[in-house]
Amino acid sequence: MKRIAAAKFKAQCLAILDHLDAEGIVVTKHGKPVAKVLPIQRTSADLIGGLRGRITVAGDVMSTRVSWDAGD
């Protein structure tokens, strides 16, 4: 795993985050690890429609299937 000194990480933080690989990077102070920066794992960025074709809707999705009378 790649290592970087905290001062260098501070100076180049945005560029480092833009090019962060799956393994991540260890930030060190005086040669000792103090933090580990990892990218967020995403299986799919497309959440809308992600279950299309996997689910079937049975009946009226707007109904509670409970009969009730609001009364007067």
Per-residue confidence in pLDDT tens, the chain, 72 aa: 899 999 999 999 999 999 999 899 999 999 999 999 999 876 555 566 777 788 887 788 787 778 888 876
pTM for the model stands at: 0.56
- Residue 7 inside a domain? The answer is yes
Q: What is the pLDDT of residue 16?
A: 94
The answer to whether 37 and 15 have CB atoms below 8 angstroms apart is: no
Residue 36 forms beta bridges with which residues? 26
- Residue 61 inside a domain? The answer is no
- Residue 11 inside a domain? The answer is yes
Number of domains in the chain: 1
- Residue 32 inside a domain? The answer is yes
Cα separation of 13 and 44, whole Å?
26
- Residue 67 inside a domain? The answer is no
Residue 28: give the domain boundaries: 2-37
- Residue 29 inside a domain? The answer is yes
- Residue 19 inside a domain? The answer is yes
- Residue 13 inside a domain? The answer is yes
